[in-house]
Chain A
Amino acid sequence: MGILDLFAKKKSSNVAKDRLKLLLVSERADCSPEIMEKIKNDIIEVISKYLEIDTEGLDIQITKNDLEGGNNAPALCASIPIRGQKRDLNKKTGEV
């Protein structure tokens, strides 16, 4: 790979793969990308009350539940990178 490639735009096979992955998540679950986006935003809102999260790195996916007793039903898997716990949370609620 030449140094010029570093500045080149994203290769088309990667573009295709990313597009497909996103598309198939919603198609498998039979729900639209807009709904997925809304779910994502709601999750961010709720979790942000308690934890400092990396909203950019948040990833939600609908996958098959392969876990024991999962019955192969679709499952919503959210991967939410945590930056840290909110310091003022304990004070507010009065817990230790």
Chain B
Amino acid sequence: MSEVIVVTSGKGGVGKTTTTANIGTGLAKLGHKVVLIDTDIGLRNLDVVMGLENRIVYNLVDVVEGNCRIRQALIKDKRYDGLYLLPSAQTRDKTAVTPEQMRKLTEELREEFDYILLDCPAGIEQGFKNAIAGADRAIVVTTPEVSAIRDADRIIGLLEAEEMGRIDLIVNRIRMDMVKKKDMMSVEDVIDILSVNIIGAVPDDENIVIATNNGEPLVGTNCKAGKAYMNISRRVAGEEVEMMDLNAGNSIWDRLIALFRKN
């Protein structure tokens, strides 16, 4: 049985594309057949985050307009078995595709893939409506900031109005040092405000910047964000995975112990 999942947020810059890339890669690492669709027409980015920007021939709009077959537009990620990307068009705008066409496209992809992940553009206009049209479930990404949480709340409201089957929340870019000083809202605070199911929290990690520079998702690597994204991928696939202790390894004691272990 295949699932169509839209990754959305309302606000831009909270980590939708990074999240899509990492969960998609994570699911592929777990042995699933996955296709990532960049639905941000005019501002495509999933291709660079995945490091596949040099291999684009056809795009989403080409497929929808019938200029090519789906198979021709899919880019196979050679690093992982069963991972594909359908890039977005860069020279068109959101009106080039309709929700009905997106629904048809996802239906066709269901036959071949276990997971179809849609990277949604920021905003609540046409691009958002296109992205959610064919989705069974949604993952809402937010950060512990007032603007991102407010937009997430609006998005959740819109998804509920559209009767989205399941809505899960990811709280991204948590800084535990600031949370401890009560200068940043905690994951619990965010859940309390949005009252929605949480599927994972991702700590702010400079490795994300490095991974994006290299065009290589860090899911599954031995860093905090890498572990967090792997846990989320497992949960998306239906596994029960305990929530990660974001505090671990942060205190002076933990650092000292780590230092001794290294030596």
Contacts and interface: CB of A to CB of B under 8 A. Distances in A.
B181 to A, nearest CB: 8
Interface stretch (B47-55, B124-132, B182-190): B182-190
A16 B186 contact: no
B182 A20 contact: no
Interface residues of A, number: 13
Contacts of B181: 11
A14 to B, nearest CB: 7
B150 A14 contact: no
Contact of B193 (A11, A12, A24): A24
A16 B146 contact: yes
B185 A13 contact: yes
Interface string A12-46: 11101101110110011000000000000000000
B77 interface: no
B157 interface: yes
Nearest to A17: B189
B202 interface: no
| SS of B interface (majority) | helix
Contacts, number: 36
B154 interface: yes
A11 B182 CA distance: 6
Contact of B182 (A13, A24, A27): A13
B131 to A, nearest CB: 22
Contacts of A12: 182-183
Given A13-B179, A17-B193, A19-B146, A24 B186 contact: no
Nearest to B194: A24
23 contacts: A11-B182, A11-B183, A12-B182, A13-B182, A13-B183, A13-B184, A13-B185, A13-B189, A16-B145, A16-B146, A16-B185, A17-B189, A17-B192, A17-B193, A19-B146, A20-B146, A20-B193, A24-B150, A24-B153, A27-B153, A27-B154, A28-B153, A28-B157
B120 interface: no
Contact of B149 (A11, A20, A28): A20
